Amino acid sequence: MAILLQGLVLLVSGMGIVFLFLALLVWVMNRSAAIVPRFNHILPDDEPKKKTRPAAKAAGDDEAALIALAIAAARARAA
Instruction: Tell me what pLDDT residue 25 has.
Output: 98
Q: Which helix (H) or strand (E) holds 37?
A: none
More confident residue, 6 or 64: 6
**pLDDT tens column, 14-66:** 999 999 999 999 999 999 999 988 888 887 777 777 778 777 665 566 888 88
Instruction: Tell me what pLDDT residue 17 has.
Output: 99
More confident residue, 71 or 62: 71
Instruction: Tell me what pLDDT residue 56 has.
Output: 65
User: Rounded to a whole number, what is the largest CA-CA distance in the chain?
Assistant: 84
